[in-house]
Structure 1
C-alpha cells in the first residue's frame, strides 16, 4: 500500500501547499512527506512541486498528476465500498445511514416494528449530524440516507433524488412559565429582542433566520450544539427556540416545556430518503426503503411507480 500512501500525501500537500500543514493532517513528520514526494518524482521522472522553504506549489506536471491521483483515490474508495457491500449482502447485513435527529426521535417506534415484521436482514445503524452525514455521502461511504432535505444544499439537490417521507413543523418553544405562554394570542411584535436559541447547522440556521427575517424581527441568536442542548437551555430560561414538534413530545407530555403554533411563522422542513442518482440498489435495500415509506404514509406510490419516476433501481 506504499503507492496509496504516497498518493494521499501528494493530494494533501497539493491541497494545503505546506509541508507543515500536510504533516499535521497526515499525523506524520515532514521528512516523511518529503520522502513520499521524492519517490513519486523518481517514479515519474518529473518534478511535481516547486519547493520554497516549507511551502510547495504544483508544477505543470504536478497539476496533470493531481487529476489522475484524485481519480485513483476515488476509484479505490468505490472499490472498497463495493467489496464491503458484497460482504454485507452475503451476511444479510444492511448498513443504514440516518440523521441523528431521525435516530433520536423516530427509531424508538420504528425499530420494534421492523423487528416484528420479520425483516430478512440485520441492521447496522450509523447516526450522524447533518454535516457528517453529508460527508459520508460525499465520500461515497453510502449511496443513500434518511435525513433532512434543504433545497439550498446544491450538492444534495444535484446528486440525489429526494423521496419525502414527512415534514417537520417547527413550533415556538418556551418554558411553561414564560410570559408569552400565558398569552392567548402571540403577535410578531411580542418576539422582538428575544434571545432565540439555534442549532449549529448551517442550512437550518439559514432557513430559520430567513423566515424570521421575513417577519422583520430583531432578535438575538445564541447557538447550541443540538436540539437536546437547546431544550435544556430553554428549560433553564436562557432563551426561546423554534424546534420540530417530534423533538418536543416527551417534554410537552410531562409539562417541562410549552410549544405554541404561530400563524405568522411558517417553517416546515422536509425529511426523506435521499438516493444517489443512477445507482442500483439491492433487494434488501429496496425492501427497507418500502418499509420506511409505508411507516409514514400508506398513500405513497408503490415500488413500480417510484421506479418509473426516477426512484431506486434494481
Structure 2
C-alpha cells in the first residue's frame, strides 16, 4: 500500500511541479509529499526531482521513472477493472441444488425459459437424491434447495422454512394389460396381497406405507433404486407402484403404462424451496426464485419472495 501511495505522489508532483499543489490535490501535508519522494529516491538510489523552493522539476532519472510509473498506474487500473468484472460474473452465477426428481421431470420445461430470460441465468445445477441433498444442507454447501418436504423429517422441520411450489399426487401405476385397469373403480380389497414397488427413500417409503396401512392394505414390498427403475419393473410385470403423475406422464402418453386415482388413497407430497432460517441470499438467487414460481399453479402469494 505504501508503494502505491508513493507512486501516486510521484505522478501528481510530476504533473503539478509544485509541492503545494500536489499536497492540495492529494489532501495531505507538504511534508508528507516530501517524505514519499524521499523514500522513492532512497529506493532507487537516485534523485527524481530538482527542488527549487516549493517547485519541483524532474531529473533525467525522474523522467525515466515517470514512463514506468504511468505504465504501473495503467496496469493497476486494468487489474482493478478485470477483478471487478470477474466478481460481477461470479456473482451472477446461481448455484442450484435440486432433487433428482425435480431435475428429471421439471427442468425440461423450466430451463429453456430461464435461459431465454434477459439476461439469461447462468446456473450451476446440482441434482441429488433426497438423502444426499439433505446432507448437502447439513454440510452447509447450500442454504436452500428445491426438493420434497416430509413433515416427519425433524432436521428439515426445525432448521428450514418451506415455501411450497407444488404437490405431487401419487397414483396407482400398472401395465396397460393389467386386469384391474378394466375396473371402473378399484377398491382396497383389490390390492390385498399385491406386490408394490417402492423407491429407496426412507421418508417416502414411510409416507406411502402409512397411507396404505391406514386403509388396512396388506401388500408385499419390493424396493427399487428410483422412479425410473420402478417404471421399467412395472412394465415388466414385477408389481404395481404408486408414483407421481409427473414421473409417468410420458409413459402414459405413449400408452406404456396406465394409472388410476384411487378413491381411498390420497397421498400428496409437498415440494418447494427449503430455505435455511436466517440465511441471506443474493439478488440473483431471489430473481431466480421469482422466475421459477410462475411455472407452478401453487406457490407463494404474488409479489412475495421465498427468500424474504
Distance 2:206 2:107 in 1: 27
Deviation for aligned residue 1:115: 1.2
Distance 1:149 1:167 in 2: 10
Distance 2:125 2:119 in 1: 15
**Residue-by-residue CA offset, 1:168-224 (whole Å, 9 max, x unaligned):** 000000000011112121111000000000000000000000000001011000000
Q: Is the 8 A contact 1:92 1:120 kept in 2?
A: no
Runs of 4+ in 1 over 4 A off after TM superposition: 86-89
User: RMSD of aligned C-alpha atoms?
Assistant: 1.7
Distance 2:298 2:275 in 1: 20
Deviation for aligned residue 1:88: 8.3
Identify if the C-alpha distance between structure 1 residues 171 and 186 changes in structure 2 by more than 3 Å, giving closer, same or farther: same
Distance 1:134 1:212 in 2: 26
Q: Is the 8 A contact 2:166 2:299 kept in 1?
A: no
TM-score, scaled relative to structure 1: 0.68
1:312 aligns with 2:307: yes
Which consecutive residues of structure 2, in runs of 5 or more, have no partner in the other structure?
Answer: 1-85
Query: What's the counterpart of residue 237 of structure 2?
Result: 237
Q: How do residues 1-314 of structure 1 correspond to structure 2 at under 5 angstroms?
A: 90-297=90-297, 300-303=300-303, 305-306=304-305, 311-313=306-308
How many residues align structurally?
A: 223
Distance 1:177 1:158 in 2: 46
Identify if the C-alpha distance between structure 1 residues 89 and 208 changes in structure 2 by more than 3 Å, giving closer, same or farther: farther
Distance 1:266 1:119 in 2: 42
Query: What's the counterpart of residue 81 of structure 1?
Result: none
Query: What's the counterpart of residue 70 of structure 2?
Result: none
Identify if the C-alpha distance between structure 1 residues 238 and 298 changes in structure 2 by more than 3 Å, giving closer, same or farther: closer
Distance 2:117 2:221 in 1: 45
**Residue-by-residue CA offset, 1:255-285 (whole Å, 9 max, x unaligned):** 0000001010010000001111011110000
- Find the structure with the greater CA-based Rg: 2
Q: Is the 8 A contact 2:163 2:299 kept in 1?
A: no
Distance 2:266 2:121 in 1: 40
Distance 1:293 1:267 in 2: 23
Residue aligned with 1:208, SS = helix
Deviation for aligned residue 1:105: 0.2
**Residue-by-residue CA offset, 1:70-105 (whole Å, 9 max, x unaligned):** xxxxxxxxxxxxxxxx96863521100000000000
Distance 2:100 2:140 in 1: 19
Query: What's the counterpart of residue 54 of structure 2?
Result: none
Residue aligned with 1:237, SS = coil
TM-score, scaled relative to structure 2: 0.70
Identify if the C-alpha distance between structure 1 residues 287 and 177 changes in structure 2 by more than 3 Å, giving closer, same or farther: same
**Residue-by-residue CA offset, 1:282-312 (whole Å, 9 max, x unaligned):** 0000000111112213874244x45xxxx42
Which consecutive residues of structure 1, in runs of 5 or more, have no partner in the other structure?
Answer: 1-85
